[in-house]
Amino acid sequence: MINLLSSHLEDCSTPQYFCFAIRCEVCGEFWYSSSIPFSKAAQAAEYREKRELYDAIYQREKQRARLAASKEARERFSLCPICRRLVCDSCFLICDEMDLCRECAERMNEHGEPVAP
Partner 1 sequence: MRIRWFALLLLLCLLLTGCAATTSGGRVISEAEHSQAYSAALLPYLPGYEEGQPRDNLYAEVTAGNAIICFDVQAVPAMERGVGKYWYPHVLSTMVIAVDRNRTNAAITGWNSLWESGVSVGIGSDSTIRNMLVLGSMSYGLNNEKPEKEDALMLMRHLYQNGHFSCNNPEAPVVLCLDYEAAEWNRAGGNYEIIVPKEGTLSFTMGLLSDLPLTVEPGFNKALLSAGFPLADGRRPEGYPASYKSARTLDQRDYGWFLNIIESSSRDLRRQVFHTRLYTTADLREHTLFAIAIISMILMWRETVSHRMVRRDVRQVVNLMGWLMVGWLMLRLFKYQLLSDGLLCRMCWYGYYIFQLALPVALLYLSMLLDDPKEKKRPRHFWVLMGCYLISVLLVMTNDLHQLVFRFEPGGNWGKDYHYGPGYWAVEIMAVAFLLLAIGRLFHKGRRSADWGGKVFPLLFGAGLLAYAVAYIYRVPLAWESDLTVNVCILSALFFETALHAGLIPVNLQYQRLFASAPIGLVLLDQEGHTMLSSGDAPPISRSVWKRLLTDMEHPLLRDNDTEYHAVPIHGGMAVWREDISQLNRLQREIQDVQTRLEAANALLREEGEVKKRLLMAETSRQLFEQLDRDMERRVEALAHLIETLPKSQEHREATAYITLCLCHIKRRCNLFFLVRQGEQLLGDELSIYLDELTELARYAGLQMLICCGHRGELDVRSAAICYDFAFETISWALKEAASPLMGYLEVEGTNLVFRFLPGGDPMQWHFSQELTTAVSALGGQIFYKDLDDAIGVCMTLPMGGEVRG
**Residue ranges that bind partner 1, judged by CB under 8 A:** 12, 14, 16-17, 19, 21, 23, 27-35, 37, 76
Q: Nearer Cβ to partner 1, position 34 or 53?
A: 34
Q: Nearer Cβ to partner 1, position 12 or 95?
A: 12
Q: How far apart are the C-alpha atoms of 100 and 49, rounded to whole Å?
A: 52
Using only C-alpha atoms, the chain has a radius of gyration, in whole angstroms, of 18
Q: Minimum distance from CB of 114 to partner 1 (Å)? A: 14
Q: Minimum distance from CB of 70 to partner 1 (Å)? A: 14
Task: Note whether 92 and 102 are within 8 A (CB).
Answer: yes
Q: Nearer Cβ to partner 1, position 32 or 58?
A: 32
Q: Minimum distance from CB of 46 to partner 1 (Å)? A: 25
Q: Nearer Cβ to partner 1, position 108 or 116?
A: 116
Residue 58, CB-side half-sphere exposure with 13 Å CA sphere: 18
- CB-based contacts of 101: which residues, under 8 Å, 6+ apart? 26, 78, 80, 82, 83, 85, 87, 91, 92, 93
